[in-house]
Amino acid sequence: MAWHRFLDHTSEITLHVGAGGWSALLAEAGLGLAELLLRGAAAAPDPENTGWRPLEVASHDREALLVDWLNELVYLAETGLWVPQEIEIEEASETHLKARARGVTVEEAPSLVKAATFHDLHVRDLADGLEAEVILDV
Amino acid sequence: MTDKTTHYPAVRLDPVCVEIPKSARPDMLVPARVWVDEELWKKAVSDRTLDQLVNVATLPGVCGCVHAMPDAHEGYGFPVGGVAAFRAKDGVISPGGVGYDINCGVRLLAADIGYGEMKQRLEPIVHDLSRSIPSGTGRGGALKLNAPELDRVLAQGCRSLVERGLATQEDLEHTEAEGSFATADPDKVSSRAHERGKDQLGTIGSGNHFVEVQRVETIYDEEAAEALGLWKGQLTILIHTGSRGMGHQICTDYVRAMDAVMARHGIKLPDRELACAPFDSPEGKAYFAAMCAAANFAFANRQVITHAVRQVFQRALGDSGDLRLVYDVAHNMAKLEQHGKQKLVVHRKGATRAFGPSHPETPAAYRSVGQPVFIPGSMGTASYVLVGTDEAFGLSFGSTCHGAGRAMSRTAAKKVKSGNEVRKDLEKQGIVVRGSTGELAEEAPHAYKDVDRVVQVVHDAGLARKVARLRPVGVVKG
């Protein structure tokens, strides 16, 4: 079962996420970020396309892929006024992911999260899955 | 005397400075200095500020000491409130050492009238400010730019706004670097950064960004205040914001780019967010040019907001509402500076340049007193005007603090008081507030350190000199 929570940090927000596998962890991290992006926002079903949007990210290692994935979603939220609500990871290696997502549009671009950072970035293998921590600059 | 409150062998050098010697960790190349009194030292050791500062002391080409200002707290990569200088010839430049909000900074506007003369109009004026200045990243800022116009802003900063009637020559002369870094190159800015920034010029953003209406409450240094054109009871406006999505994306792009090439440059780091490249490498040069473009965007952003603020006050008060720009200063930047015989890349992340009277970059109007420095406190407390000192050049690469400094996480702050409670508290003090309830709770005064204490430390240390204390009367939050 995938889960996420937000940990205290003096000035930023730490996203702590866990899942049974790498694909599920990436999807859950995206949903955790989406929760922050929609905080206080007026959201509505995507009027242009209520179907699935294709998403693709490539990086040079597993940790960087997680950061780049979250930064892709920050970018789409700020420029496209769109935040995912359902995410399906179709393919995920340590350096590449293909996904599709359905979401909502927002009246104002979410400005809480500036970026996902590499600081204290962890992806840990556990006996029953993985967990990760990413500090988000807010 | 060695301090026992941290596992580092910290030694208090004087009442406002603690040093961690470079022997504290085998990979440190220089000592670390923390500018704090006893009370602020307790804050500094309460999170990972010192670990992050020590990490910075391991970066290639670092020289002198690395510094944490009295408002320093845990950030990512560098601590917020961190200062470090690297040799330009063989040292590095680090996007994480500048931060995502490149050239976040503050500017102070001063009126020719006292607060008492407009007190009765305060509420409608603050309301008009909140309507006239977009706070969040909405569907558009105050100024719509096409691609060539945006590139002009990136290349020229505030200078590009003069012919549009949004800035005056006097405004440029009263802005750090005259609001324009010639070393900026829009071609080093990604299409994604262009996209994020294209309709954000003239917006405040969220977090701790604001436009604040104030009155000058106390003057500490009459001569310096006169040079800055400040007097007790005067109406002032402080604007705090940065480069918005443009800067955020440039930092994201270059942290990623440098993370990928560090092995090629033989750089090993204790923290990936410190991702860096030699200043003299293609990656280092490209980041510096893009960062300067973001800095130009930030100067222009504060200038466009200034224009909107001026219009609000002129609508309300006519000619009495004229507002003069006292100064605009950055607090998230890496700058190429001459220090003695060395060219250094001075990173200030949550720290303010504070050059003294004799520095050639101190504006001509302020050569008798030093470069103005503005230290915003939290809502409901106070902000300070200081001036830089020649002494600071030798002590901290000409740097001082940038604010009160967070002492509490956003979650913890919200547990202490709700946004509505914070709003009521501020209203009881006669402060008119506009902003979302959630933001108010997260940015409440109790979430920050004591700005009076922070400023007293930099004053006592000689990192800057107190001139005036400003009291908020109206706040527009991002």
Give the span between the Cα atoms of B34 and B109, in whole angstroms: 32
> Which of A19-23, B364-368, B422-426, B473-477 has the least mean pLDDT?
B422-426
Report which of residues B261 and A9 the model is more confident about. Answer: B261
Length of chain B: 478
Element at B125 (helix H, strand E): helix B122-132
Question: CA of B411, closest CA in chain A: separation in Å?
Answer: 7
Neighbours of A38 (CB within 10 A): 19
Over residues B181-203, mean pLDDT: 95
Q: Using the beta-carbon criterion (under 8 Å), do A138 and B410 form an inter-chain contact?
A: yes
DSSP SS3 for B135: coil
Determine how β-strand B432-434 pairs with β-strand B465-477.
Answer: parallel
The H or E element containing residue B309 is: helix B282-317
- Separation between Cα atoms, residue B247 and residue A34, nearest integer Å: 21
Opening angle at CA B307, ends B301 and B308, nearest 5: 95
Contact state of A118 with B273 under an 8 Å Cβ cutoff: yes
| Length in residues, chain A | 138
Cα A111 to Cα A38, B138, B161, B204, B309: the distances in Å are: 10, 9, 25, 10, 22
Beta strands in A46-121 (DSSP E): 53-58, 82-92, 96-106, 115-116
In the prediction, which pLDDT does A40 show?
Answer: 67
**What's the token pair of residue B409?**
């996480």
CA torsion B68-B74-B80-B83 (nearest 10°) is 30
Determine the average pLDDT of the residues in B228-250: 97
CA dist B468 and B387 (Å) reads 10
User: How many CB atoms are located within 10 Å of the residue B51 CB?
Assistant: 16
Task: Please tell me which of the candidates A59, A67, A111 has its beta carbon nearest to residue B206.
Answer: A111
The pLDDT of residue B189: 98
**Catalytic-labelled residue, pool B174, B209, B307, B402:** B402
Question: What is the rounded (10 degree) CA torsion for B362, B366, B371, B374?
Answer: -140
Query: How far separated are the first and last CA of chain A, in Å rounded?
Result: 28
What is the spatial distance between Cα B204 and Cα B101, in angstroms, rounded to a whole number? 12
Phi, psi of B215 (to 5 degrees): -125, 145
Q: Which of B322, B307, B302 is nearest to B118 (CA)?
A: B322
Q: Yes or no: say if B278 and B92 are a contact pair by the CB < 8 Å rule.
A: yes
Work out the average pLDDT over B438-446: 81
Residues of chain A with pLDDT under 70: 40-50
Residue bearing tokens 């804050």: B43
Q: What is the pTM of this model?
A: 0.94
Chain A residues touching B273 at Cβ < 8 A: 117-121
A18 Cβ contact partners less than 8 Å away, ≥ 6 residues apart = A2, A3, A4, A25, A28, A126, A129, A130, A131, A132
B112: exposed, middle or buried (Cβ count in 10 Å: 0-12, 13-18, 19+): middle
Q: Test A9 with B252 for CB contact under 8 angstroms.
A: no
Both tokens of B378, joined, read: 């939290």
Mean pLDDT taken over chain B: 94
Q: Has B402 been annotated as catalytic? A: yes
Residue B23 to residue A22: CA distance in whole angstroms: 41
Report the Cα–Cα distance between both ends of chain B, in Å, rounded. Answer: 44
Predicted pLDDT at B33 = 98
Q: What is the pLDDT of residues B353-369, one digit of tens each?
A: 999 999 999 999 999 99
Alpha-carbon distance A9 to B180, whole Å? 34
Chain A residue with CA closest to B274: the answer is A119
Interface test with B, best of A16, A74, A111, A113 (most B CBs within 10 A): A111
Find, in chain A, the residue whose alpha carbon is nearest to that of B77.
A119
The answer on pLDDT for B139 being more than 50 is no
At residue B142, does pLDDT exceed 80? Answer: no
Note whether A10 contacts B260, CB cutoff 8 Å.
no
- The predicted complex's ipTM stands at 0.90
Q: Give per-residue pLDDT as tens, B292-337.
A: 999 999 999 999 999 999 999 999 999 999 999 999 999 999 999 9
Instruction: Please identify which residue in the block is written with the tokens 């601590």.
Output: B79
